[in-house]
């Protein structure tokens, strides 16, 4: 029986909390404490290289209803490791090698041999991408969708489901009744709602491969180099959430936690039964995103069972056809 089927969903990843240095190669070890460099030797100036991305990996995914059976959020956390080289360069070289980025910070794309290279600085930035999941219900064969009450969606959905069940099954033999699982049609659409991070503009700039040929970026959103040294005025974030979310998926080192052969998406309505069947397919079981959405559907499945139990006693029954009627004499 479909109601007795068990479904195991992996709904979270362990957040990696170790230091960044040992996990990535670079031009030196990361100091235990990120901070401004010591004063440069006489006749030298501290210069910074361009910011670069060393790793992007999804580390956590969580899902849950924000409005019962109508709206849910899926939050995916990414671990982005940013690195930056710095060096002490002779003063007579600085004017000829220094460049200025779009924020007004000075840096060097490639350090000459006369510059004394310091250990690379690395910092991990967490980015949370918030996906809004909206679920629409309707009775099979009807054009009008349900309109759940904002303050009590469960009750309004229950009333609509009971009305649908009775309208489709009344005056029919109980043995021929269609279950509410097949009479309830759903459409689930997901979109990026927000991106939460402290450095959205910098991340979008260094993640976008199309911008690689253009001048490099040397400072964070707050106008400081990666080690915290002031370099330019603060730049207000200007990156649309959707653009940054797409860049994270593109640059992720591991398979992204985004839609891939995932049920419950698209513009078409499907019955709850058909969607549940797709949740038990191999493609859905191998996808974390699909497993999470199917967990939402599992909760709805139990709700519909309870609604049908309430609707059955109120549904007028028809007379069953006599045994052997319509058969050969």
- pLDDT surpasses 90 at 3: no
3-state secondary structure of 134: strand
Q: E strands, the chain, where?
A: 44-48, 52-67, 71-84, 86-90, 99-100, 106-107, 116-117, 121-139, 184-196, 270-271
pLDDT in tens, 38-77: 888 899 999 999 999 999 988 888 999 999 999 999 899 9
> Encoding tokens for residue 322?
């006599």
Which of 33-37, 138-142, 256-260, 275-279 is most confident? Answer: 138-142
pTM of the model: 0.73
Burial annotation 129-155 (CB, 10 A radius, 16+ → b, else e): bebebebebbbeeeeeebebeeeebbe
Whether the pLDDT of residue 32 is over 90: the answer is no
Q: Which of 4-18, 80-94, 236-250 has the lowest mean pLDDT?
A: 4-18
For position 322, what pLDDT does the model report?
A: 60
CB 12, CB 64: distance < 8 Å? no
Average pLDDT, the chain: 81
User: Per residue in 178-231, pLDDT tens?
Assistant: 999 999 999 988 888 889 998 888 898 888 877 665 678 999 988 999 999 999
Tokens representing 199 are: 């450095």
Q: Decide if 168 contacts 180 (C-beta within 8 A).
A: no
pLDDT digits (tens, 9 = 90+) for 161-188: 999 999 999 999 999 999 999 999 999 8
DSSP for 246-299, written as a single string: HHHHHH-SSPPSS-SS-SS-SSS-EEHHHHHHHHTSHHHHT-HHHHHHHHHHHH
pLDDT, residue 269, reads 92
Model confidence at 13, pLDDT cuts 50, 70, 90, reads very low
Ranges of each domain in the chain = 9-314
């Amino acid at each position: 029986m479909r109601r007795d089927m068990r479904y195991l969903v992996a709904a979270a990843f362990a957040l990696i909390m170790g230091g960044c240095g040992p996990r990535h190669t670079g031009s030196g070890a990361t100091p235990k404490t990120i901070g401004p460099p010591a004063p440069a030797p006489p006749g030298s100036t501290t210069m910074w290289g361009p910011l670069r991305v060393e790793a992007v990996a999804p580390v956590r995914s969580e899902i849950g209803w924000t409005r019962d059976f109508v709206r849910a959020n899926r939050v995916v956390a990414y671990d982005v490791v940013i690195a930056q080289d710095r060096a002490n360069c002779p003063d007579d070289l600085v004017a000829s090698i220094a460049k200025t980025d779009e924020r007004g910070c000075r840096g060097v794309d490639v350090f000459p041999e006369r510059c004394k290279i310091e250990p690379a600085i690395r910092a991990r930035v967490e980015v949370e991408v918030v996906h809004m999941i909206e679920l629409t219900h309707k009775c099979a064969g009807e054009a009008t969708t349900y309109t759940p009450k904002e303050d009590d969606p469960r009750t309004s959905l229950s009333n609509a489901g009971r009305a649908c069940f009775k309208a489709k099954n009344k005056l029919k033999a109980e043995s021929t009744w269609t279950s509410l699982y097949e009479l309830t049609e759903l459409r689930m659409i997901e979109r990026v709602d927000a991106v939460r991070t402290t450095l959205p503009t910098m991340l979008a700039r260094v993640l976008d491969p199309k911008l690689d040929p253009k001048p490099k970026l040397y400072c964070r959103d707050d106008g400081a180099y990666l080690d915290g040294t002031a370099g330019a005025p603060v730049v207000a974030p200007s990156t649309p959430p959707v653009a940054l979310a797409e860049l994270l998926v593109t640059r992720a080192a591991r398979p992204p936690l985004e839609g891939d052969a995932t049920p419950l998406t698209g513009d078409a309505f499907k019955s709850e039964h058909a969607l549940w069947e797709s949740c038990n397919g191999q493609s859905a079981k191998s996808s974390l995103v699909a497993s999470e959405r199917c967990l939402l559907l599992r909760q709805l499945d139990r709700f519909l069972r309870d609604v049908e139990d309430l609707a059955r006693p109120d549904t007028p029954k028809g007379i069953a056809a006599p045994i052997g009627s319509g058969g050969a004499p």
